[in-house]
Structure 1
Amino acid sequence: MRRVVVLLSALWVVLHLWLPMVFGLNQEGLYLLEARGGLEDPGNALLDWNPRDVTPCNWTGVACSFASGEFVVTAIDLGNLNLAGPFPASLCRLPHLSFLSLASNYINSSLSSSSLSPCSSLIHLDLSQNLLVGPVPSVLPSLPLLRHLDLAGNNFSGPIPPSFAFFPALEVLSLTSNLLNGSIPSFLGNLSSLRQLNLSYNPFAAGPIPPSIANLTELETLWLADCSLVGKIPPALGHLSKLVDLDLSRNYLTGGIPESLSSLKSIVQIELYQNSLSGRLPSGLSNLTALRRFDASINSLSGPIPEDIFSMPLLENLHLYQNQLNGSIPSTSATAPYLLELRLFQNQLTGPLPAGLGAISRLMVLDLSDNHLSGEIPRGICDGNMLQELLLINNRFSGGLPLGLGECRTLRRVRLSNNQLSAEVPALMWALPHVWILELHNNSFSGRITPDIAGAANLSKLIIHNNQFSGVIPAEIGSLLKLYDLSASSNRLSGPLPVSLGNLSQLGQLDLHNNSLSGELLPGIQYCKKLTLLNLANNNFGGGIPPEIGNLPVLNYLDVSANFLTGEIPLQLQNLKLNQLNLSDNRLSGSIPPIFLNEAYKSSFLNNPRLCWDLHGPCTRSTTSKKRRKLFWLLRASCSFLAAVLIVGIAWIYCKYRKIRKVNQGQLKLNNWTVTSFHKVGFRSNEIMEFLDEDNVIGSGASGKIYKVVLGNGEAVAVKKLWRNSTKADDNHDQDDVFEAEVATLGKIRHKNIVKLWCCCSHKDCKLLVYEYMPSGSLGDLLHSGKEGILDWPTRYKIALDAAEGLCYLHHDCAPPIVHRDVKSNNILLDADFRAKVADFGFAKVVEGSMSVIAGSCGYIAPEYAYTLRVNEKSDIYSFGVVILELVTGKLPVDAEFGEKDLVKWVLGTIQQRGEESLIDPNLGLCHKEEVIRVLHIGLLCSSSLPINRPSMRKVVKMLLEVGGRGNPLGWSKKGKLSPYYHEEVKSTTS
């Protein structure tokens, strides 16, 4: 009998192996091939979907189970494969399919009810992070077995369908980061089996939190961040006994925090930040025995901090900053064993800190700035050996610094300015190896800057002005190769400047005024090529002004007044583009260099008795009275003649103007210039012409020179004068092409992140474009000309976001879409507040296919553009990715240190060899490390060698918003960590 059974089993196996080879791929495999046929697969991820196979069970992304005597497809996971196209409806014809994931692809168009309704066996459906549009399908609740539904990170619009009240057994519902409107419906409270409800980052209509949410007794996760919520937090939420994560941040909630929240026994994280909550913090928070993170910052909470808030046994992060809390910091804060971050800045807290704060905890961040705290800094503040940030600025702390801070080698940021601290700084504190900012100004510290400072290898900002430091500046300071800002003014420093200052190649600001320094002025200064500010006023320096100062390419502030400097003013100072010059109160002699003989520098040379102004030749003090009389009559005659000419000229201009004035639909001709206005302007063309000289040139590019023109009303504009022939521009891209492209593009654009074109002027072979003036210049100039130190990370992040929003407007909101074709850091301009705007549209084109010539700049051109000449938005996205890499690394897009590589390839190679952290611009330090690395990853995605891998600019904006905590569409999980999808994107990009 056993032999018969074995024989029959063998026969069954043979038949199942042989018959399919005869009759071909089974029906389920055919359905899958049909699905693949409707998708684009640029990376050949589904290459092993072979029609010659017997079954699809070994294909990529396909899983089978044995049922009813055969293998059937039960799960399909095609996430993160760069697939594009509409939803493959044939997948729902697989009768046993219970798991379907197409997450993190480019699935587009809308979802129809007919395509989904056959999926009757589905338990898990994940279509997150795609490009789906239209309404959320109302047919989904008809899928009887559905437990998990994730549609996050798409472009679904409209309200949540009423049918969603009737899911029979749904456990996870995620609609995060879509375009849903309407209010959050109360019928969601009917989904009694729900464990996760994720609706964050949708533009819902203003409305309250539905009280019916409290009916979801199985709920573990409730994410309603940035949902336009108003009203009070329902106390009934305290009945959600299984809730682990509650996020109501970035809304408009009012009233107090309900005390009922202290009943959430399972809660691990509560996020209530950026609302309008008021009143006191609730009592009973010590009952939250599982809570690790509590964030109620940026509200209007008042009253004292409850004593028991630090009695939560697992508390790690407490963020209550930017409120109106008063009273003292509870003594229980010193007994919280797992406390990592305590951020209470910008409140009204008073009194001393608990003496044992930091002694038993693993404190990493302590930010108590902008309060009224007093007393001494606790001695054991760094006993946990993990403290990285100590931020106590703008308080009333007194006494000396704890000796233990000198042994706190984990410190990265120390900001203690604007207090009443005194005594000497511990010697070892000057040598902390990881500190990048040491800010001690406006205190009463004394003692010396010790030679131990040589150990502070990462120090970028040393800001110690307005103290009582004395002694010499040690020569060891010259070993701080990352030092950008040295501000030690208003102290008692003496002696000569160390020659080693010339080693500081990254030095951007040197301010030592109001000290007793002496000796020669800055030996070796010519090597500080990135110096923008030099202030040595009110010291005892002697000797001459070094001519080498004139060779500093980006110096714009020079003050060496009130010293004992002698000799002549070096002519080399004329090489500088100075916004501020002060050589007053010295003993200088001779002539003033010609470039400074104007009213702008009138007060720059006061109290130098041996200096003289001479417009025509060398100074002389032996002029006879006869010569003086001749000069007087000559000047008088000249003034009379000029007055007569001026009167006649004014009369002629007035008559001429009245005769030829013509205004017709925004066009006017003045002096044969045709002016076309795109905005209401309050100036005339002849106001511009007189300023188009070399003294007002502020830039030059492929298409022309750019001038700064200050109009009669005091307003400044930027004027681009296009080259008269193609010798400066591309031979195949002449002046007319540039003029027409820029006028056609900018004339119709209205966006806050696109530079404004006021008007254009043309006359014969000369063409002018008049823009709004951007006083901070271009991003490229700031990043690569020695001024990068003024761009801290929050500023760089905002610049990236502004530029991305400008490009997003061009790509997605213009009809038809516009491709810039020359995105680069030099074409991103900054206003006085460092708001960024995209500029220079001389190469811009409506998306229309191939171009006859390569446009763009070296290092920014997408790889495929060079050989296909194919123009689409992906080319701009690649260039923008390079700009992001510039912001993160501070490097040029093409540099000799890269060898034959460009910036993108250099970054990829450096990641593999030394890791991501090594790429961060030293001027940024590491306090925003995680955020910087996230933005770096976005830059790598944008600069992927495969166009299909590059996200749209709309997705780029969403990702950048998430980095700033303002969205969660792509890349990161709720807790701020990279999702597996995003890791794979970066991995595939770097491989």
Structure 2
Amino acid sequence: MFLLFLLIVGLFSPSKSDELQILLDLKSQLEKSNTSVFSSWTSRNSVCNFTGVVCNSNGLVKEINLPQQQLVGVLPFHSICGLQSLERMDFGKNSLHGILTDDLKNCTRLQVLDLGCNFFSGEVPELSLLRNLSFLNLNNSGFSGKFPWKSLENLTKLGFLSLGDNPFDSSPFPEEILKLHRLFWLYLTNSSITGKIPGGIENLTQLENLELSDNQLSGEIPLEIVKLKKLWQLEVYNNSLTGKIPVGFGNLTSLVNFDASQNRLEGDLSELRFLNNLASLHLFENQFSGEIPQEFGDFKNLVKLSLYTNKLTGSVPQKIGSWADFNYIDVSENFLTGQIPPDMCKNGKMTDLLLLQNKFTGNIPDSYSNCKSLTRLRVNNNSLSGVVPSGIWSLPNLSIIDLTTNQFEGSVTVDIGNAKSLAQLFLSDNLFSGELPYTISHASSLVSIQLSSNRFSGPIPSDICRLKKLNSLNLNENMFSGSIPDSIGSCVSLSNINFAQNLLSGEIPDSFGSLPSLNSLNISTNRLSGEIPVSLSHLKLSLLDLSNNYLVGPVPDSLNIPAFRDGFAGNPGLCIRNDENSQRCLSSSGKSHHIVRKFLWCFVAAILVLLISLAYYLIVKLKQSNLESPLKQNSWRMKSFRVLSFTEREITDAIKPENFIGRGGSGNVYKVVLANGKELAVKHIWPSKSTDQKSYRSSSAMITSRTFRSREYEAEVATLSAVRHVNVVKLYSSITSEDSNLLVYEYLPNGSLWDRLHTCHKIKMGWEVRYAIAVGAAKGLEYLHHGCDRPVVHRDVKSSNILLDEEWKPRIADFGLAKIVQAADGGDWTHVIAGTHGYIAPEYGYTYKVNEKSDVYSFGVVLMELVTGNKPIEAKFGENKDIVNWVSSKMRSEEGLVDVVDSTISEDQKADAFNVLRIAIRCTARNPAHRPSMRMVVQMLEEAEPCLLTNIVVDKEGVRSANSKA
């Protein structure tokens, strides 16, 4: 009888051979992974010797622990759950995809399930049968749709629950969670939770960590939260919470990290004065008022304090940061007074001292002169005074010194040459004096020097152009004297020079003409003499101001344009040729020249007769040619934004069918080759035929316009012309008439990214080239969103609007045009449907009030093009499907995402391409709030840099990479 019992048990018990086969099946599903973790998973070994596998005392599989192993593939849950003793399944932080099937319900012994940080898709299935779960992590795993909150009621053993960073359907705070009394960790950040935080949160008395950030929570922080005495971390940032910090909040004395930033909270901070275990406090971008509690100065663990953009008053506690390894303080944009606390860098760990836009007084304490860990010092826009401690100028890790708009005095000391990390030196609007030390040229990382409105004197350091990264040099409104160093011509990166209102003398250096990047030159109101160097004609300037000096002689013809006319005023000795309204250039040999002039007039009169006859003939011919030309022969008005080497006639004459090269969202594009060989691209904006509103439909947008001569249009073009970034196409000028408008851009010889990926002009591109294009284009968009005075929303980001120069570096083109046209119409441009099918963000379906996140979505589509080689819309995707849907469906298929990568990308680089695809998926999240900013996209792309940096080479096979270096 006993033997029969053993036989029956054996029949229904899993054998070790069965478990071996299950694990080998798992290995086969993940065989495309770039990992060596499965090298021990062979039939010759016991499963208990498999890497990542733990067995129980009976030799059966108890745990599978394979986190962060670069796994790619689909998990076979139906077979894994055949491991009937399995208690732990950890596949977190890999690249797994597919759907979470109902087979998971057979893993009834599971206590730990970690699938976080993967690329699963679809909905999370019913979980109610997993009653033994104590740990459930699905954070950032890709699941979407409606989450089965109801099933959590049965998981009463749960202590750890992390479901955040998934695009679930919106739902109120799930009441089912309030029944999980064992929870000590609850992470629901960025999971589409709406409504109020329920008072029933008090039931979760074991909670140590509560994170509800990046949702749509509203209302007040519930009073009941003060009963969670074990909380050491509470994060509710980036919601719409209102009201005050609850009374009794000070009872949460275990709290170490508290972040309620980016809400609408108000009131004072008095309840926080009892939280003496706080290490990190972030309450920025709220509406708090009152004083910072003095008790903060006694908090011995406080290392991070960020309270910027509130309405706080009073002083910062003077003992703050003097106990622990204080890291940073940012209390900018408040109404704080008093002095800077002296001991925040006492332990030498402080990185950021940010106090800008307050009312601080006194000086910078001497204690910071030895704060070698400091990377940012920004105390601008206060009432600080005194001499800056000399050691501050030479701090080795400091990247920015911003002391603008205070009352500092004294000089910049010679040890500034030791500041090897200093990139930005902003000292404008103070009382600094003395000479600028020559050693400043040793601070090799300097990009921008702003010293305006001080009392600096003496010469400009002659070797300042040793600063090869220097982009902006503003020394205006000081007392600098002597001549401008001729060596200035070696400042190859300079784009902005402002030496106005000083005591500079001598001649304008001819070497100015050697500055390839110079865009703005202002040396007005000095004592400069001599003639204007002809070499300035070589520059591509948007601003030139030489006024109020002692310059003489003729203004070079190429500089004699309306945009620069005021920049020559106040120089009595200057003359302008052929200008009735300005002093005309006359020779000193009067009489003989007068005779010559009379002869010339007679000669001109004779020539006029011939010209009139010729003109009549040409008019007849032009009428005939106008039948084929897209332009009418009208008077033209040209507005230049850089120094030009062409006239409007050269441009308008070239707008003809044989020069047509493409069609953009608002007009045709023509290639113009000037007489000097320079190539330009000219966009002929489709004309408005009347002052009545008229619609034009293109492949890119529905654009509504009136005449383009409106002041709003001119102002908008001027705004776009001020955009200066290496990854944004250059706009040289606009040329307008009564019925047409031309925009003159730089010409990019390698066409668009669309051409190189999808048309008959496509070429084979290695991954490094595609990656470099992605990063460059992202940086261009980042500049438009974050680097301009006001954000520029492109609204038609696509691969055909990413142009490539001769070195395959990308330029964002055609940006903001729909906005420009709509602005001319006087309407709200955000209410115009713009964009291209396949790139348009889904929020267009329910609102026209789009923002930068719509550009992020479109850029995510471009990233998918680069990784997959597919167009945004293709027949193989299926009816009413685009590349975003297709990639999502592939995540649910057996093929796996690895098969989505373009087959022309080499096998050893597909993992790098896959990392960029992960970023693309984040960019194309359906909810705009879940998409990263372009600044974050750039950061993520830089972190996804390929293992090898290479140079780009073009050969018969296309664009590839060569000369690899580690």
Tell whether the structures are fold-level matches, with TM greater than 0.5.
yes
Question: Separation in 1 of the partners of 2:448 and 2:513?
Answer: 20
C-alpha distance in 2, partners of 1:471/1:455? Answer: 19
The aligned residue for residue 956 of structure 1 is: 919
Matched, 1:100 2:89: yes
Which residue matches 1:697? 680
Change (3 A) 1:631 1:290: farther
SS of the aligned residue for 2:337 comes to strand
Structure 1 residues 404 and 635, CA gap change in structure 2 (3 angstroms): farther
- Give the corresponding residue for 1:578: 541
Q: Residue by residue, what CA displacement relative to the aligned partner does 1:727-761 show, whole Å, maximum 9, x if unpaired?
A: x999xx99999975589xxxxxxxxxx9xxxxxxx
Q: Could you say which residue in structure 2 is the equivalent of 1:36?
A: 27
Residue type at the aligned position of 1:697: L
Distance 1:406 1:573 in 2: 43
Residues 143 and 166 in structure 2, CA contact (< 8 A), matched pair in contact too:
no
Question: Which residue, 718, 729, 736 being the options, matches 1:712?
Answer: 736
Checking the alignment, whether the CA contact within 8 Å between 1:109 and 1:133 is kept in structure 2 is yes
**1:378-420 C-alpha deviation (Å, 9 max, x unpaired):** 3445445433222121122223332323233332211111122
Quick one: which amino acid aligns to residue 129 of structure 1?
C
Distance of 1:48 and 1:628 partners within structure 2: 95
User: CA offsets, 1:949-980, max 9 Å, x none?
Assistant: 64354412467899xx97699xxxxxxxx9xx
Confirm or deny that 1:533 pairs with 2:523.
no
1:826 is aligned, of 810, 820, 827, to 810
Q: CA deviation at 1:261?
A: 1.9
Seen in structure 2, the aligned counterparts of structure 1 residues 425 and 735 have a Cα distance that, compared at 3 Å, is: closer
User: CA 1:257–1:193 in 2, change beyond 3 Å: closer, same or farther?
Assistant: same
> Unpaired runs of 5+ in structure 2?
1-14, 632-654, 683-728, 764-769, 817-850, 875-897, 933-939, 949-964
SS at match of 2:458: strand
Partner in structure 2 of residue 414 of structure 1: 377
Distance 2:803 2:554 in 1: 54
Are 2:301 and 1:338 equivalent residues in the alignment?
Answer: yes
Deviations 1:582-605 (A, max 9, x none): 122222233333321333322232
Amino acid at match of 2:587: T
Give the drift of 1:37. 3.4
Tell me which residue corresponds to 1:284. 248
Q: Tell me whether 1:159 sits opposite 2:146 in the alignment.
A: yes
Amino acid of the residue matched to residue 164 of structure 1?
A: S
In structure 2, the partner of 1:142 is: 129
CA–CA distance in structure 1, aligned partners of residues 553 and 204 of structure 2: 84
Hey, what does 1:622 align to over in structure 2? 589
Amino acid at match of 1:285: F
RMSD: 5.3
Q: Are 2:123 and 2:146, in contact at CA under 8 Å, matched by a contact in 1? A: yes
What residue identity is the alignment partner of 1:620?
A: S
Distance 1:638 1:344 in 2: 77
Q: Give secondary structure in 2 for the equivalent of 1:136.
A: coil
Deviations 1:420-445 (A, max 9, x none): 22222222332333221111111121
- Paired residue secondary structure (1:466): coil
Q: 1:338 to 1:657 in 2, by over 3 A?
A: same
Who is 1:454 aligned against?
A: 417
Change (3 A) 1:258 1:877: farther
Q: Percent identity?
A: 29
Question: Residues 629, 582 of structure 1: CA spacing in aligned structure 2 closer, same or farther, 3 A cutoff?
Answer: farther
TM-score scaled by length of structure 2: 0.68
Would the aligned equivalents of 1:299 and 1:323 in 2 still touch at CA under 8 Å? yes
Paired residue type of 1:160 = F
Please identify, of 205-214 and 222-231, the stretch whose mean Cα deviation from structure 2 is larger.
205-214
Secondary structure of the corresponding residue to residue 602 of structure 1: helix
The alpha-carbon distance between structure 1 residues 647 and 445, as it changes in their structure 2 partners (threshold 3 A), is: farther
**Aligned residue in 2 for 1:772:** none
Q: What SS class does the counterpart of residue 581 from structure 1 fall into?
A: strand
Contact 1:415–1:440, Cα closer than 8 Å, also in 2: yes
2:285 pairs with one of 295, 314, 322: 322
1:405 matches 2:368: yes
Cα distance between partner residues in 1 of 2:338 and 2:608? 69
Give distance in 2, aligned partners of 1:525 and 1:203: 55
Structure-2 change in CA distance of 1:821 and 1:33 (3 Å): farther
The aligned residue for residue 86 of structure 1 is: 74
Aligned in 2, Cα 1:38/1:359: closer, same or farther, shift over 3 Å?
closer
**Pairing of 1:295-694 with structure 2 (within 5 A):** 295-306=259-270, 308-360=271-323, 362-614=325-577, 620-623=587-590, 624-626=593-595, 672=657, 681=666
Partner Cα distance (2:347, 2:754) in 1 = 66
> Structure 2 vs 1, CA of residues 49 and 373 (structure 1 numbering), >3 Å: closer, same or farther?
closer
Deviation at 1:464, TM superposition (A): 0.6
- In structure 2, what is the Cα distance between the partners aligned to 1:344 and 1:652? 72
Q: Which moved more, 1:394-403 or 1:507-516?
A: 394-403
Matched, 1:45 2:36: yes
Contact 1:567 1:589 in 2 (8 A): yes
> Is 1:56 aligned with 2:47?
yes
The Cα shift of 1:292 comes to 0.9
Alignment of 1:235-254 (within 5 A): 235-254=199-218
How many angstroms apart in 2 are the aligned matches of 1:842 and 1:297? 37
Contact 1:129 1:151 in 2 (8 A): yes
CA shift in 2, pair 1:646/1:954, >3 Å: farther
Q: How many residue pairs end up in the alignment?
A: 773
Counterpart residue identity of residue 602, structure 1: R
Give the distance between the partners of 1:596 and 1:968, measured in 2 at CA.
47
1:167-224, CA deviations, whole angstroms, 9 ceiling, x for partnerless residues? 4xx4xxxxxxxxxxxxxxxxxxxxx332223232333444432345333222212222
Between the aligned partners of 1:438 and 1:792, the Cα distance in structure 2 is: 25
Structure 1: how far apart are the matches of 2:182 and 2:866? 59
Q: Are residues 876 and 97 of structure 1, via their aligned partners in 2, closer, same or farther at CA, if it must alter by over 3 Å?
A: same
Going from structure 1 to structure 2, the CA distance change for 1:641 and 1:94 (only over 3 Å counts) comes to farther
- Aligned CA distance change for structure 1 residues 640 and 203 (closer, same or farther; 3 Å): farther
Partner in structure 2 of residue 774 of structure 1: none
* Secondary structure of the structure 1 residue equivalent to 2:57: strand
Tell me if the contact between 2:296 and 2:320 (Cα under 8 Å) persists in the aligned partners.
yes
Report how far residue 565 of structure 1 moved. 1.7
Q: 2:65 aligns with which of 74, 77, 82?
A: 77
Distance 2:803 2:204 in 1: 51
Tell me how far apart the structure 1 counterparts of residues 256 and 570 of structure 2 sit (CA, whole Å). Answer: 65
Residue matched to 1:65: 56
User: 1:36: Cα distance to partner?
Assistant: 3.0
* Deviation of the 1:514 alpha carbon: 1.0
Length-normalised TM-score, structure 1: 0.67
Question: In terms of mean alpha carbon deviation, does 623-632 or 417-426 score higher?
Answer: 623-632
SS in 2 for 1:322: coil
In structure 1, stretches of 5+ residues that fail to align are: 1-23, 171-191, 663-669, 700-704, 744-753, 755-776, 811-817, 849-870, 879-942, 970-977
Q: Deviations over 1:530-566 (max 9, x none)?
A: 1111111111111222222221221111111112222
**How far apart, CA to CA, are the structure 1 residues paired with 2:805 and 2:40?**
38
Letter in 2 for 1:428: G
Q: Equivalents in 2 of 1:737, 1:53: separation in Å?
A: 48
Seen in structure 2, the aligned counterparts of structure 1 residues 440 and 672 have a Cα distance that, compared at 3 Å, is: closer
> Do the aligned partners of 2:231 and 2:255 also contact (CA within 8 Å) in 1?
yes
2:183 maps to what in 1?
A: 219
Give yes or no for contact 2:458–2:482 (8 Å, CA) kept in 1. yes
Deviation at 1:615, TM superposition (A): 6.9
